[in-house]
Amino acid sequence: MKPWESGIRKVTPYIPGEQPRISDIIKLNTNENPYPPSPAVEKVISGYPTETLRLYPDPACQVLVDAIAEYYGIGRDCVFVGIGSDDVLALSFLTFFNQELPILFPDITYSFYDVWAELYRIPFRRIPLDEGFAWHKEDYRIPNGGIVLANPNAPTGLYANLNDIEDVLSHNPDSIVIIDEAYIDFGGTSALPLLKKYDNLLIVQTFSKSRSLAGMRIGYAMGNPLLIRYLNDVKYSFNSYTMNRVTLEAGAAAIKDRDYFVQNCQNIIHTREESKKRLARLGFSFPDSMTNFIFASHEHIDAEELFTALKEHGIFVRHFGADRIKNYLRITIGLPQQMDTLFDFLASYIEKHA
Ligand code: PMP
């Protein structure tokens, strides 16, 4: 070890899903949307006046904040935007989780939460999900320094109803409760109506999934103006120009195209429901997903073996090594024809190996 290494902040980083450089693969490994973004985005980008890029962007991100506020019918002072919801969540952990008591989140959830907690040295406690991967509201009635719940949860896909979310909020008036709604548009109901009642609620969403803009990096938080002000104070203490000019305009155009968004989500939901039936017929079991992915385990075939076989066949899905979930594959919902290829392969593989 070098003498200066003892003073370094050492972290075990989050491992993002693979982004292979080859293009003729079926990419079902990082929950991207298989459909293109709204045509309104293409219009903004292709006509973008590049000479304006010599200027800094608006640090308050007003066009995008206003478009999001208008879409949801809330005040512009209730919205914060960032570089994907990862950026918004990371800043939220830094801003809101500052107590000696541990923050709480499920043992199986988005694997970035414990990485941020370690990075910022926030104590945390993982609350075990039950056998069916559900969380229980009673488990969140213990002293804590904050709570973060993904709803629907990832990578399980399970959605918790708003009564359970409200129970957590009402039992924890002294903590900030973050609800990560990255996948809410695929059939769940947002906790947004609870904002009026609970000033300790922060809802985080993203343009990466339901708005087909993972490559643009847009995430946002919705909460009461005081929370948003505290978030902005931290943001301006870190990097004031987070969102670039093109992204701000493209994001505003995307959220205004409500019809395209609704149709896009319906397409994914339809393919997901079909995929559930096909998986069940092949001997897979899975929590009932309300997202754009299905977390599936086969009755006879080992998940890692299947993961490797799929990859060799040019079909990328996600496999996590953690104990309780190592026999599951997380399969993103792709285009119907991509799912056909996946199911053709699965059927013949299972026939040969089961
Ligand atoms: N939350 C959850 C639960 C996720 O699965 C993801 C996607 N990896 C994110 C947040 C972050 O997404 P993004 O930064 O693209 O908005």
pLDDT at 72 over 90: yes
Ligand 1 centre to CA of 104 (Å) is 18
Q: Which residues pair with 82 in a beta bridge?
A: 219
Cα–Cα nearest to 185, from 248, 135, 255, 252: 255
**Residues enclosing ligand 1, CB less than 6 A?**
84-86, 110, 150, 154, 180, 182, 206, 208, 214, 219
Please give the number of the atom of ligand 1 that sits closest to the Cα of 209: 15
Ligand 1 centre to CA of 101 (Å) is 26
User: Mutate which of 18, 33, 86, 116 to test ligand 1's pocket (most atoms within 8 Å of Cβ)?
Assistant: 86
Please give the number of the atom of ligand 1 that sits closest to the Cα of 153: 3
Please give the number of the atom of ligand 1 that sits closest to the Cα of 214: 15
The predicted structure's pLDDT at residue 24: 86
Ligand 1 centre to CA of 215 (Å) is 12
CA distance 243 to 96: 22
pLDDT tens per residue, range 143-190: 999 999 999 999 999 999 999 999 999 999 999 999 999 999 999 999
**Mean pLDDT calculated for residue range 300-307:** 96
What percentage of the chain reaches a pLDDT higher than 70? 100
pLDDT at 354 over 90: no
What percentage of the chain reaches a pLDDT higher than 90? 96
What is the average pLDDT score of the chain? 97
Stated pTM of the model: 0.97
pLDDT at 22 over 80: no
Ligand 1 centre to CA of 116 (Å) is 13
Residue closest by Cα to atom 12 of ligand 1:
85
The predicted structure's pLDDT at residue 197: 98
Ligand 1 centre to CA of 307 (Å) is 22
The predicted structure's pLDDT at residue 251: 98
Cα 69 to Cα 92, 131, 250, 319: the distances in Å are: 19, 39, 16, 37
Please give the number of the atom of ligand 1 that sits closest to the Cα of 16: 8
pLDDT tens per residue, range 212-250: 999 999 999 999 999 999 999 999 999 999 999 999 999
pLDDT tens per residue, range 275-292: 999 999 999 999 999 999
User: Per-residue confidence at 135, pLDDT binned at 50, 70, 90?
Assistant: very high
User: Mutate which of 206, 207, 318 to test ligand 1's pocket (most atoms within 8 Å of Cβ)?
Assistant: 206
The answer to whether residues 213 and 31 touch, using CB atoms and an 8 Å cutoff, is no
pLDDT tens per residue, range 78-122: 999 999 999 999 999 999 999 999 999 999 999 999 999 999 999
Ligand 1 centre to CA of 85 (Å) is 6
pLDDT at 17 over 90: no
The predicted structure's pLDDT at residue 19: 86
Residue closest by Cα to atom 1 of ligand 1:
182
Same fold, 16-36+259-353 and 39-257: no
Ligand 1 centre to CA of 27 (Å) is 17
Ligand 1 centre to CA of 91 (Å) is 14
Please give the number of the atom of ligand 1 that sits closest to the Cα of 208: 15
User: Per-residue confidence at 294, pLDDT binned at 50, 70, 90?
Assistant: very high
**Mean pLDDT calculated for residue range 192-211:** 98
User: Mutate which of 85, 202, 290, 292 to test ligand 1's pocket (most atoms within 8 Å of Cβ)?
Assistant: 85
- Tell me which of 3.60.150.10, 3.30.70.1230, 3.40.640.10, 3.40.50.10860 is the CATH number of domain 39-257: 3.40.640.10
- Would you kindly state where each structural domain of the chain is located, as residue ranges? 16-36+259-353, 39-257
Ligand 1 centre to CA of 330 (Å) is 14
Residue closest by Cα to atom 2 of ligand 1:
182
The predicted structure's pLDDT at residue 18: 83
CATH code at 16-36+259-353: 3.90.1150.10
Ligand 1 centre to CA of 300 (Å) is 31
